[in-house]
C-alpha cells in the first residue's frame, strides 16, 4: 500500500473552509430549497409559540387578576349554593372578634367604553382593605381622585390609569356597566397608578367600587361573594369555623386558583400537542429538503471524498448547514409566533370563556421561557430531521457516491426493513395507546409513533402501487404510461421522501377533519336527545360558562301557568365540594327529565324508566361520563360523599349519563332532596313543554313580549338554544381548524419544493429524452403524470393514516383528556378533500418545472458538469 492509503480515516486532507465555500455556492444557486427549509422550521415554531403565548396570556391574566383580588389573604369564608349573607361578616368581626377580615362582592360586567370585554367588578369595604390589598394608599399603586366621592356617592368606580388611557377615559367620565341583563351608569372618581408592570397587568381587568354599589349592580342584595381572612393561627381558625352558620366554610385563598389550573390543564396540553403536530409536519418538510440536498450533491461529495474529505467532515457540514438554517427559521418563527399569538389570543380566550371561566386578556405577554422553548425545540427538530441524510453521507464510500445506482439499490434493499420498522413502531404506538391510567402525554407519544410508522411504510407501498400501475399505464397511455411509474420507482430515494411528507400533512387534514366532524355530529345528536323542551328560560350571562344567576319567582310562576304550557321542568345549578375529588363539582338539582326519556346513558343501575323516579325520591344521584373518567371511578361506581350544610353525606350512584356540556363532570340530584339539604330554593333554568298543536314560535314571542321589561330573564326557543350551543362548539374548534389550515399550507409547500427539485434535478435526463425525439407536449404529459401519480399515492396513503389518527383522537385522546366518548362519523367529503389537496398540490408543483424544462436548450441539458 502507498503511504497515502495508510492515512488514518479521521485525518482530513482538506480543510473545512473550502467545504463552506461549496455550501455557499449551492445556497446562491438553489436558494429556493433553503428558503423552504427555513419556512418549514418557521411555521412549526410559529404555531407552537403562538399557542403557548395565547394560552399562557389567558392563564396569566386570570392568575394576576385573582392574585390582585386575593392580595395578602391566606383564607376566605365562602357560602354554599344559597350564597353568603352579609350578616356573617358582622358575626366574624363582632361576635367572634376575628380580625383582620374584609368582605368582598365580585362579579363580571361588560362596559361599552372598555371594548365590550368582560371585566371583574370588585366591591370592597375601603376601611377593611389596608391589610389585604395595597392599591389604596399602599405601595402597589398611587392614585388620583376623590375617595370621599367613592364612599359617599352611589354608582362610582375606580380603575387603573393605564386601562383608562387605553380607552381614552378620564376622571369624571361615565361608564355603562352591563350585569344580570341590566345597564347601570357609573362615574369614574379615581384612577390608580400601578407601581410596576405586574400590578399594571393585574389591574388591567379590574374595576373597583364600594361594596354597597357592587351589591346593587350585581343584583346581590344582602349577599357577599366571600370574606377574606389573614389567618396565622390554626387554632383560632378552627374556633372561627366552629362558630360559622351551617353551609358556610373556610377554604385556603389559593383553592380557586388551583381549581382553575386543573380545569384548563387538559385544554392547554391538547393545544400544545396540536401545535407540535404542526412541527412534525414541518420536520418532514425539513427532512425532505435536506435529503434532496444530500442526494443532489452525491457526485460532488464523491469528488470531495476522492480528494481527501472525510465522511465526518461531510457529516458536520450537513448538520452545520441545518443548524444555521434552523436558527434563521426558528428566529423567524418566533417573530411570526408573536404575531399569530396576538391574533389567536381572542380564540383561546373565547374558548376558555365558553367552557371554563370568565377571563379578560388586555395584552399578550411574551415570556422569555416561551421564546427559548420555541427556539430550542425548532432547532432540535431540524437537527433530528437532518441526522439520517447526514449519516448517509458519512457512511457512503467515495466510489458509491459517484454511482446513482448504488443509492437506489440500497433504498430497494431497505424496503423489507422498513416494513419491519412499521410493524415495530406501530406496535409500540399501539402499546402506548393501550396503556390506561397513564399520562395523556404517553397517549400523544403513541399517536406520533403511529404517524411515523405509516410514514415508514410509504416507500414499500409506493413500489407496489407503481409496479401494479405500470401495465395499466402502458395499455392506456402507451410508453409514457409505462415510463412515469417506473421513473418514480427508479428515483425512490427522492420520490418516497416527497410522497411521505405530503402523506403526513394530508393525513393530519383527514384525521382532524374526521375528529371535528364526528364531534359536531355527536354533540348535535346529543342536543337533539337531551333538549326536548320547546322553550327555555334562563338568567342572562356574559359567557356560556356562567350559570350563577337565578330566575325571579314571579317569572317562574307566570311562565309555568301561561296558556299553552303543558309542563314546566326546573333546575338549579350549584357547585358543591366533593372531598374524595378534592375539588368542587357542579351539582344540578332537577324536578323532572327535560329529555323525556331520550337521554343516552353509559351505565344504569336500574331500567331507564325507573331511574328518574328513584332520583326524584331522593334515593341517589346520577353522574356524567366525564366525571367518571376524570376521577378514574369504577363501574358500577361506589357511593359519592358530598359536603352538605348538615355535614358529609354519601349518595349511591343511580346512573352514568353522557354529557358534552362540561369536561369537568356534573351530577344530577332530585330537587326536593337538594332543597332539604342545602336550604336553597332558587331556580337557575326552566324548560317549558308546549301543548300539542300550539305554535312554539308564537308562544315564545308572547313570553318574550310579556317579559320584555325584565332584563333578568332570557327566553329562547329550542331551536335557538341548539343553534347557540353549536355556535359555541364551532368557536371552540376554531383553533383546531386553524391548525388544519396550516397543515394544508405545509402540505402544499412541501410537495411543491420536493417535486420541483426532483424534476429540475433530472434536467439532463429530460435533455436526453428530448434529443431522442420526445416532443414538448409529451414532456409536459410525462412530468404532470409523474407528479400526479406521486400526489395520488400520497393521497391514497393519507386516507387510512388519517382514519387511524381520527380513531386515536376520538377514542383515546378525547376520552383521556376530556372524558367524552364520541361516535365516529365518516363523510366522503373528508376523503375527497384530502385526495384533492394532494393531487392539486402535486399537479401545480409539476407546472413550473415542466414550463422551465420546455424552454431548455437540449445541448446545455446534456452537458455534464
Least Cα distance to 519 among 832, 804, 728 occurs for 728
pLDDT in the model for residue 13: 47
Least Cα distance to 381 among 790, 40, 643 occurs for 40
Least Cα distance to 319 among 255, 252, 385 occurs for 385
pLDDT in the model for residue 130: 79
Contact 771, 540 (CB under 8 A): no
pLDDT in the model for residue 405: 56
The answer to whether residue 37 scores a pLDDT higher than 50 is: yes
Least Cα distance to 749 among 272, 47, 273, 41 occurs for 41
pLDDT in the model for residue 655: 94
Least Cα distance to 740 among 805, 825, 656 occurs for 805
Would you state the torsion angle of the CA atoms of residues 364, 368, 370, 375, taken in this order, to the nearest 10 degrees?
130
Contact 659, 602 (CB under 8 A): no
Q: Can you tell me which residue has the cell 411515523?
A: 452
- Summarised one tens digit per residue, pLDDT across range 775-814 is 888 888 888 888 889 889 999 999 999 999 999 989 988 8
Strands 685-690 and 206-210 come out as: unpaired
The answer to whether residue 744 scores a pLDDT higher than 60 is: yes
Contact 501, 742 (CB under 8 A): no
Least Cα distance to 347 among 577, 126, 53 occurs for 53
Least Cα distance to 325 among 26, 541, 581 occurs for 26
- Summarised one tens digit per residue, pLDDT across range 171-192 is 889 999 888 778 889 999 888 8
> From the DSSP assignment, how many helices (H) and strands (E) are in the chain?
30, 23
Contact 144, 152 (CB under 8 A): no
The answer to whether residue 474 scores a pLDDT higher than 70 is: yes
Give the three cell numbers for residue 759: 424534476
CB atoms within 10 A of CB 83: 19
With cut-offs at 50, 70 and 90, classify the pLDDT of residue 557.
very high
Quote the distance between the C-alpha of residue 60 and its chain's center: 17
Report the C-alpha gap between 274 and 735 in whole angstroms. Answer: 10
Q: Rounded to 5 degrees, what angle do the CA atoms 115, 254, 201 make?
A: 30
pLDDT in the model for residue 864: 52
The SS3 call for residue 703 is: helix
Ramachandran area for residue 619 (φ above 0: left; ψ -120 to 50: alpha; else beta) = alpha
CB atoms within 10 A of CB 85: 15
pLDDT in the model for residue 449: 92
Instruction: Tally the C-alpha atoms within 13 A of residue 3's C-alpha that lie toward its C-beta.
Output: 0
Ramachandran area for residue 613 (φ above 0: left; ψ -120 to 50: alpha; else beta) = alpha
Report the C-alpha gap between 635 and 383 in whole angstroms. Answer: 47
Report the C-alpha gap between 189 and 170 in whole angstroms. Answer: 9
The answer to whether residue 9 scores a pLDDT higher than 80 is: no
- Summarised one tens digit per residue, pLDDT across range 424-468 is 999 999 999 988 766 778 888 898 899 989 989 999 999 999 998
Quote the distance between the C-alpha of residue 638 and its chain's center: 33
pLDDT in the model for residue 804: 94
In the chain, where the domains are located: 79-252, 552-711
Average pLDDT over residues 363-369: 75
- Summarised one tens digit per residue, pLDDT across range 304-347 is 777 777 777 778 888 888 888 889 988 998 888 888 887 777 77
Average pLDDT across the chain, whole number: 81
Higher pLDDT, 395 or 239: 239
pTM of the predicted model, to two decimals? Answer: 0.77
- Summarised one tens digit per residue, pLDDT across range 239-269 is 888 888 877 888 887 766 666 566 566 666 6
- Summarised one tens digit per residue, pLDDT across range 508-553 is 888 888 988 898 899 888 888 888 889 999 888 766 556 667 888 9
In DSSP notation, 146-193 reads -HHHHHHSSSEEEEEHHHHHHTT--TT-EEEEEETTEEEEEEEEEEEE
The answer to whether residue 140 scores a pLDDT higher than 70 is: no
Least Cα distance to 378 among 427, 318, 328, 439 occurs for 328
Highest mean pLDDT among 55-59, 488-492, 612-616: 612-616
Helix, strand, coil distribution of the chain in percent, nearest 5: 60, 15, 25
Phi, psi angles (nearest 5°) of residue 704: -65, -40
Least Cα distance to 625 among 663, 587, 596 occurs for 663
With cut-offs at 50, 70 and 90, classify the pLDDT of residue 353.
low
Give the three cell numbers for residue 731: 368557536
With cut-offs at 50, 70 and 90, classify the pLDDT of residue 17.
confident
pLDDT in the model for residue 547: 63
Contact 227, 92 (CB under 8 A): yes
> Could you give the percent of the chain with pLDDT greater than 90?
18
Report the C-alpha gap between 362 and 61 in whole angstroms. Answer: 8
CB < 8 Å & 24+ apart, contacts of 110-113: 110/177, 110/178, 110/179, 110/542, 111/175, 111/176, 111/177, 111/178, 111/207, 112/175, 112/176, 112/178, 113/167, 113/169, 113/173, 113/174, 113/175, 113/176
Give the three cell numbers for residue 849: 418545472
Q: Is the dihedral of CA 132, 135, 138, 141 positive or negative?
A: positive
Beta strands in 407-492 (DSSP E): none
pLDDT in the model for residue 403: 56
The answer to whether residue 228 scores a pLDDT higher than 80 is: yes
Report the C-alpha gap between 105 and 215 in whole angstroms. Answer: 7
Contact 153, 185 (CB under 8 A): no
pLDDT in the model for residue 7: 43
Q: Can you tell me which residue has the cell 453521507?
A: 393
The SS3 call for residue 673 is: helix
Q: Is the dihedral of CA 592, 594, 596, 600 positive or negative?
A: negative
Higher pLDDT, 439 or 700: 700
The answer to whether residue 67 scores a pLDDT higher than 50 is: yes
Amino acid at each position: 500500500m502507498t503511504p497515502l492509503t495508510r492515512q488514518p480515516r479521521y485525518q482530513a486532507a482538506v480543510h473545512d473552509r473550502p467545504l463552506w465555500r461549496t455550501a455557499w455556492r449551492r445556497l446562491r444557486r438553489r436558494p429556493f430549497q433553503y428558503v423552504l427549509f427555513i419556512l418549514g422550521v418557521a411555521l412549526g415554531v410559529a404555531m407552537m409559540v403562538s399557542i403557548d403565548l395565547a394560552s399562557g396570556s389567558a392563564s396569566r391574566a386570570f392568575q394576576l387578576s385573582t392574585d390582585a383580588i386575593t392580595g395578602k389573604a391566606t383564607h376566605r369564608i365562602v357560602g354554599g349554593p344559597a350564597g353568603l349573607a352579609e350578616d356573617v361578616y358582622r358575626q366574624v368581626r363582632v361576635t367572634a372578634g376575628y380580625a383582620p377580615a374584609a368582605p368582598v362582592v365580585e362579579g363580571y360586567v361588560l362596559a361599552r367604553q372598555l371594548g365590550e370585554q368582560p371585566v371583574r367588578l370588585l366591591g370592597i369595604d375601603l376601611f377593611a382593605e389596608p391589610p389585604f390589598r395595597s392599591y389604596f394608599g399602599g405601595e402597589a399603586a398611587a392614585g388620583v381622585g376623590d375617595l370621599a366621592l367613592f364612599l359617599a356617592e352611589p354608582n362610582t368606580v375606580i380603575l387603573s390609569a393605564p386601562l383608562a388611557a387605553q380607552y381614552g377615559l378620564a376622571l369624571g367620565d361615565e361608564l355603562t356597566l352591563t350585569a344580570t341583563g341590566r345597564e347601570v351608569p357609573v362615574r369614574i372618581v379615581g384612577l390608580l397608578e400601578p407601581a410596576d408592570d405586574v400590578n399594571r397587568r393585574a389591574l388591567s381587568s379590574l374595576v373597583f367600587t364600594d361594596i354597597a354599589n357592587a351589591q346593587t349592580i350585581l343584583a346581590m342584595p344582602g349577599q357577599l361573594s366571600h370574606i377574606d381572612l389573614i389567618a396565622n393561627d390554626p387554632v383560632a381558625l378552627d374556633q372561627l369555623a366552629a362558630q360559622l352558620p351551617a353551609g358556610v366554610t373556610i377554604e385556603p385563598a389559593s383553592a380557586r386558583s388551583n381549581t382553575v389550573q386543573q380545569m384548563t390543564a387538559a385544554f392547554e396540553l391538547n393545544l400544545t400537542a396540536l401545535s407540535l403536530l404542526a412541527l412534525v409536519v414541518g420536520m418532514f418538510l425539513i427532512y425532505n429538503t435536506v435529503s434532496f440536498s444530500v442526494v443532489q450533491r452525491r457526485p460532488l461529495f464523491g469528488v470531495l471524498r476522492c480528494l481527501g474529505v472525510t465522511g465526518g467532515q461531510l457529516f458536520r457540514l450537513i448538520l452545520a448547514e441545518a443548524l444555521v438554517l434552523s436558527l434563521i427559521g426558528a428566529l423567524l418563527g418566533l417573530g411570526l409566533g408573536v404575531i399569530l399569538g396576538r391574533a389567536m389570543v381572542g380564540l383561546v380566550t373565547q374558548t376558555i370563556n365558553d367552557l371554563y371561566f370568565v377571563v379578560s386578556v388586555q395584552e399578550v405577554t411574551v415570556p422569555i421561557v416561551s421564546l427559548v422553548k420555541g427556539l430550542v425545540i425548532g432547532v432540535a427538530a431540524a437537527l433530528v430531521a437532518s441526522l439520517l441524510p447526514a449519516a448517509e453521507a458519512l457512511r457512503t464510500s467515495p466510489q458509491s457516491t459517484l454511482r446513482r445506482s448504488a443509492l437506489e439499490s440500497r433504498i430497494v434493499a431497505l424496503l423489507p426493513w422498513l416494513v419491519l420498522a412499521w410493524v415495530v413502531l406501530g406496535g409500540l404506538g399501539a402499546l402506548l395507546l393501550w396503556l390506561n391510567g397513564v399520562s395523556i402525554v404517553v397517549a400523544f407519544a403513541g399517536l406520533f409513533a403511529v404517524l411515523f410508522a405509516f410514514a415508514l411504510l410509504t416507500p414499500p407501498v409506493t413500489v407496489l402501487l407503481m409496479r401494479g400501475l405500470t401495465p395499466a399505464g402502458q395499455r392506456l397511455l402507451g410508453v409514457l404510461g409505462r415510463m412515469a411509474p417506473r421513473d418514480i420507482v427508479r428515483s425512490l430515494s427522492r420520490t418516497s421522501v416527497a410522497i411521505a411528507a405530503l402523506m403526513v400533512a394530508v393525513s393530519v387534514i383527514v384525521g382532524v377533519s374526521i375528529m371535528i366532524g364526528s364531534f359536531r355530529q355527536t354533540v348535535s345528536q346529543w342536543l337533539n336527545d337531551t333538549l326536548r323542551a320547546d322553550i327555555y328560560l334562563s338568567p342572562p350571562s356574559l359567557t356560556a360558562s356562567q350559570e350563577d344567576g337565578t330566575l325571579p319567582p314571579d317569572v317562574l310562576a307566570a311562565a309555568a301557568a301561561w296558556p299553552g304550557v303543558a309542563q314546566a321542568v326546573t333546575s338549579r345549578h350549584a357547585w358543591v365540594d366533593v372531598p374524595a375529588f378534592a375539588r368542587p363539582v357542579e351539582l344540578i338539582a332537577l324536578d323532572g327529565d327535560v329529555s323525556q326519556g331520550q337521554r343516552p346513558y353509559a351505565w344504569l343501575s336500574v331500567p331507564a324508566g325507573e331511574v328518574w323516579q328513584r332520583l326524584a325520591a331522593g334515593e341517589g344521584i346520577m353522574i356524567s361520563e366525564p366525571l367518571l373518567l376524570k376521577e378514574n371511578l369504577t363501574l358500577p361506581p361506589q357511593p359519592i360523599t358530598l359536603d352538605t350544610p348538615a355535614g358529609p353525606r354519601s349518595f349511591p350512584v343511580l346512573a352514568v349519563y353522557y354529557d358534552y356540556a362540561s369536561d369537568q363532570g356534573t351530577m344530577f340530584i332530585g330537587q326536593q332532596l337538594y332543597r332539604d339539604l342545602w336550604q336553597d330554593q332558587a331556580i337557575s333554568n326552566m324548560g317549558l313543554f308546549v301543548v300539542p298543536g300550539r305554535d312554539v314560535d308564537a308562544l315564545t314571542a308572547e313570553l318574550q313580549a310579556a317579559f320584555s321589561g325584565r332584563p333578568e330573564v332570557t327566553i329562547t326557543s329550542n331551536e335557538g338554544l341548539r343553534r347557540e350551543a353549536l355556535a359555541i362548539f364551532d368557536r371552540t374548534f376554531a383553533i383546531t381548524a386553524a391548525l388544519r389550515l396550516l397543515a394544508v399550507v405545509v402540505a402544499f409547500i412541501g410537495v411543491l419544493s420536493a417535486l420541483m427539485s426532483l424534476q429540475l434535478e433530472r434536467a439532463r435526463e429530460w435533455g436526453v429524452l428530448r434529443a431522442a425525439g420526445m416532443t414538448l407536449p409529451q414532456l409536459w404529459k410525462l412530468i404532470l403524470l409523474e407528479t400526479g401519480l406521486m400526489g395520488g399515492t400520497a393521497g391514497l396513503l393519507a386516507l387510512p393514516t388519517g382514519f387511524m389518527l381520527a380513531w386515536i383522537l376520538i377514542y383515546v385522546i378525547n376520552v383521556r383528556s376530556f372524558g367524552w366518548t364520541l361516535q365516529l362519523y365518516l363523510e366522503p367529503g373528508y376523503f375527497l378533500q384530502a385526495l384533492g389537496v394532494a393531487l392539486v398540490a402535486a399537479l401545480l408543483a409539476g407546472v413550473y418545472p415542466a414550463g422551465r424544462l420546455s424552454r431548455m436548450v437540449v445541448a446545455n441539458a446534456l452537458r455534464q458538469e
